[in-house]
Amino acid sequence: MSAPPPPAPSAPGRGRILLTACAIHLLHDGFLNSLYVLFPLMAAELGLSFAQVGLMKTTYSAALSLFQIPAGLLAEVVGELPVLLSGTAALSGSFLLVGWAAAYAPLLGALAVGGTASGVQHPLASALVATAYEAGGWRRALGTYNFFGDLGKILLPAVAGLLAVRFGWRGALLGLAAGGLFAVALLLLASRSSRPFPTGGGRRVGRERVRGWGVTDRRRFTALAAVGMVDDATRTAVLTFLPFLLAGKGLSAGEVGVALMLLFAGGAFGKFACGVLAERVGVAGMVAVTEALTGVGILSLLFLPTTWLPLLLPPFGVVLNGTSSVLYATVAELTAAGHRSRVYGLYYTIYLGAGAVAPVLWGLVGDRVGLVPTWIAIAGVILGAVALALPLRARRGDAGLAGSPAPRV
């Protein structure tokens, strides 16, 4: 007879788990997106092509993607929080290495270290939050967690841009690394001064009843992964080459940083708002709308003058980033409670793997045909992917998270 599952965390315990997950998400996503601001400066100093810039992003993202499943399995043994804090410290250290790199090859190696370290964040933090709130409010809690990731995308790229203007891209990386290590020290002290975290990996809910990975609806999970692949591939390509597009329109490094801050500000709102709206209009409908508007926004950035950017970038950020929040929350709905770390690891491996490959592939296209035709092609792919959202519609009688009735999808 198996041991009964531990009780769900109390409301204060849930809040502490959510706050810690939010802080770690802010750091990891902020570090990654700071690279987008610094890529043009790295390319100028080292004489890099579009394909080489794309390979830098691909190296980071590929390492991040490949460590998703190992991170989930490791957390089932030692717990989510120790792995999360260790990975955040290693990520900060990798930025020190990137800032010290004197040539392209060691720079790629340092980015691989950073991507591997950052691979712990999405599956483990998502699993912690979903498990803490499985009794109710899980979609809103995951939306809050995702909001803080985009808050990091707003704050840290702006900081990186300002530091780069004053100290160069190497100085900006060293400053971010120091801040990250300081934040890890604070989180470590906070975790030691309070009761141990309950771990999603350690919960036994459903382990004896569910075989394999613990996916409860393979049809919808497959559709979810397909949409996620196209969505993240498009987003990473846009974020990699948008600074080059804006620089070509005459914006300075500081202005590019502010432009990305506006984009991520919209994205932060979209991460929360789109997840909540999906409960009303359905996951399939929400995804179709956001993907279609993303394609329109990509084309608008190409053809509209720079004076329109303050008006265009925030709503474009809403739809560019909002889809992912809808998808993240739906993963928890399709997963048995005791398997969330590994299923999130599986999903993020597929999802982020597509985002890892996309920049270098689009970079090769850009080197061959130029930035403008490549930008138009990226818009065409995301517009053509709207049909992938149709299988996300739930069948009558499907169950949602923790056995509750499924939200309307």
Question: Rounded mean pLDDT of 141-163?
Answer: 84
Give the start-to-end residue ranges of the domains of the chain.
11-205+212-394
149 and 29 in contact (C-beta within 8 Å)? yes
Helix H or strand E encompassing 93: helix 80-100
Each residue's pLDDT tens digit, 118-132: 988 888 888 888 777
How is residue 52 written in tokens?
A: 């080489």
Does residue 134 register a pLDDT over 90? no
Burial degree of 345 (CB within 10 A; 0-12, 13-18, 19+): buried
Residue 397 has pLDDT above 50, yes or no: no
Q: Is the distance from CB of 37 to CB of 253 less than 8 angstroms?
A: yes
Write the pLDDT tens digit of every residue in 305-361.
888 988 999 999 999 988 888 887 787 777 776 667 777 878 888 887 787 788 888
- Tell me the torsion sign for CA atoms 108, 112, 114, 115: positive
Residues 136/83, Cβ–Cβ less than 8 Å: no
* DSSP state for residue 393 in the 8-state scheme: S
Map tokens 């999603």 to a residue: 200
Give me the mean pLDDT over the 188-217 stretch: 57
Both tokens of 93, joined, read: 């250290």
Q: What class, spelled out in words, does domain 11-205+212-394 have in CATH?
A: mainly alpha
Report the candidate in 279, 384, 355 with the shortest Cα–Cα distance to residue 59.
355
Mean pLDDT on 368-389: 89
The pLDDT confidence band at residue 88, using thresholds 50, 70 and 90, is very high
The distance from CA 359 to its chain's CA centroid, rounded to whole angstroms, is 15
